[in-house]
Amino acid sequence: MASPEIEFYAVKPVQPGEMPRPADYGGYFDQAKRNEAPKFRRQAIEALEYMGIVTEFSHHEGSPGQQEIDLRHTDALTMADNIVTFRYVVKTVAEINGVHATFMPKPFANLEGSAMHTHFSLSLPGPGGDAVSALDPHALALHMADGARRTLLSGVTTVRCVADKGGA
């Protein structure tokens, strides 16, 4: 089972050559009515849930324009499909609201980076099956390290983020 916490930035539209700017100036867990972010997240959640993608939580992250929506746990294959759909839905809802949603790991040099923290629950078939205790811990660690390596090297923006020593 997988349950991701997906972070992204909402930015104002820009003209060619302009630097992007956050769409709001809310702070961590900011739900202020003066801020458009709660309305935007609510619309995105309603669209996701209409499509059968269940969410658990949403809130404003620490940096201006930075948002987080958490999805309810489901099997890994279904979650992979849900994440692809999530990105499309969030970008579409952002466009309807006159902003742009970006999932780049660090779109602003001076602000926090965005990530997708994912919680995994491993279990074997049958009642009370605990996959973690049934696996060789060394093999599991090597497998997870290989997955992290592949993820780290999966994109130009990720490599640039690491090369610039800007955390995601």
Residue 108 has a pLDDT of 87
Residue 90 has a pLDDT of 95
Ranges of residues in the chain whose predicted pLDDT is under 50: 156, 158-163, 165-168
Query: 3-state DSSP helix/strand/coil percent for the chain, to nearest 5?
Result: 40, 20, 45
Residue 167 has a pLDDT of 47
Residue 147 has a pLDDT of 65
How is residue 95 written in tokens? Answer: 């466009």
Sign, CA dihedral 106-43-2-62, equals positive
Tens digit of each residue's pLDDT (9 = 90 or more) over 98-141: 999 999 888 888 888 888 888 887 765 556 555 555 566 666 66
**How far apart (Å, rounded) are the C-alpha atoms in residues 145 and 130?**
21
**In the 8-state DSSP scheme, what is residue 2?**
E
